[in-house]
Amino acid sequence: MSFLLKRLSQKNSWNKVFKQRLTEPFHLNIIAVFVFIFGSFRKKVAYDLVIRPQHAFGLLNAADQAKLRGFNDVTVLEFGVANGAGLMNLIAVAEKVTKETGVNIHIYGFDTGEGMPEPLDYRDHPEYYNTGDFPMNKALLEEKIKGKATIIYGSIKEKIDEFKSTISEKAPIGFVAIDVDYYSSTKDVLDLFKAKATTFLPLTYVYMDDIFMPHHNEKCGELLAVSEFNQAQSMRQLSYHRFFENQRIFKNANWVKQLYYFHVLDHPYRSELKRDRKTYVLDNPYLKFEGNKKQFD
């Protein structure tokens, strides 16, 4: 509760409340108050009542999917740790998700540890970001996350191949948060998605942080990196689910438009032609009506 109050004391948080939350239907906000006080963790995730709801949705749904596939563990990644607020939030949410689902969550963060590198060119949006932005207090952060998450320091381009070789198929990747700002850095991150199919869940959730500012576009930044990745890959696709917004109770939050689905089309699950389930049978009320009509003729 104290952490929530601290967040609400920040100007940016109030902007989100007024522009995103209070523009939603009045009755939903009233219901949300009761859910906040009396609701289960799962209900709070549904009503966007967990801090950084993109983390809550991503981790809970990844854990649910992992459990459905018979996994006891799942891996989540954050690219761009900066001073660690996002990573520590992932840790806090993961504890609740594990309690809810029984699925263990392994958390890794990637960062230079020294702030942002030199921008490449206009594609890295130097109008927004520059060398040395977002430094990290390494010693303090490492103390806080000890035993709960692992940070991999250095250039993503230099570290990603080694990391891909260590991913366990028993703890597939289910959620990835990308907050590296630059096109060049995002392009290096997306090399992760070329790893062996079974090191991912068949549907992996990906949060794209840096796509919402006025100068962000598909010829620069994260969106350009995603576009190039999709064009180059025939069996791996990062796509925005057009109906995801409609599936949420609260639809105006920015994060809803920043969540992407990573489709692993060459995953064995996608090629199983026989499913161990009952045959789907569709109802047809017209057939029932015709039958009743004949009885009265």
Model confidence pLDDT, tens digit, residues 122-133: 999 999 998 999
**What residues contact residue 37 under an 8 Å CB cut-off, 6+ apart?**
none
- Report yes or no: 82 and 140 within 8 Å, Cβ to Cβ: no
pLDDT-derived band at 272, boundaries 50, 70, 90? confident
Q: Quick one: pLDDT at residue 228?
A: 98
Q: In angstroms, rounded to a whole number, what is the distance separating the alpha carbons of residues 33 and 29?
A: 7
Q: Quick one: pLDDT at residue 127?
A: 94
* Whole-model pTM over 0.85: yes
Listed range (100-109, 222-231, 245-254) with the worst mean pLDDT: 245-254
Q: In angstroms, rounded to a whole number, what is the distance separating the alpha carbons of residues 173 and 152?
A: 16
Q: Quick one: pLDDT at residue 21?
A: 76
Q: Which residue has the tokens 């109770």?
A: 249
Listed range (16-20, 30-34, 218-222, 250-254) with the worst mean pLDDT: 16-20
Three-state DSSP string of the chain: CHHHHHHHCCHHHHHHHHHHHCCCCHHHHHHHHHHHHHCCHHHHHHCCCCCCHHHHHHHHHHHHHHHHCCCCEEEEEEECCCCCHHHHHHHHHHHHHHHHHCCEEEEEEEECCCCCCCCCCHHHCCCCCCCCCCCCCHHHHHHHHCCCCEEEECCHHHHHHHHHHHCCCCCCEEEEEECCCCHHHHHHHHHHHHCCHHHEEEEEEEEECCCCCCCCCCCCHHHHHHHHHHHHCCCEEEEECCCHHHHCCCCCCHHHHCEEEEEECCCHHHHCCCCCCCCCCCCCHHHHHHHHHHHHC
Residues 178-199 have a mean pLDDT of 97
pLDDT-derived band at 11, boundaries 50, 70, 90? low
For residue 262, what are the β-bridge partners? 204, 238
Q: Quick one: pLDDT at residue 289?
A: 67
Query: Residue 134's closest CA among 88, 97, 172, 80?
Result: 80
Neighbours of 81 (CB within 10 A): 28
Q: In angstroms, rounded to a whole number, what is the distance separating the alpha carbons of residues 88 and 48?
A: 18
Residues 245-259 have a mean pLDDT of 94
Please tell me which residue, 14 or 148, carries the higher pLDDT value.
Answer: 148
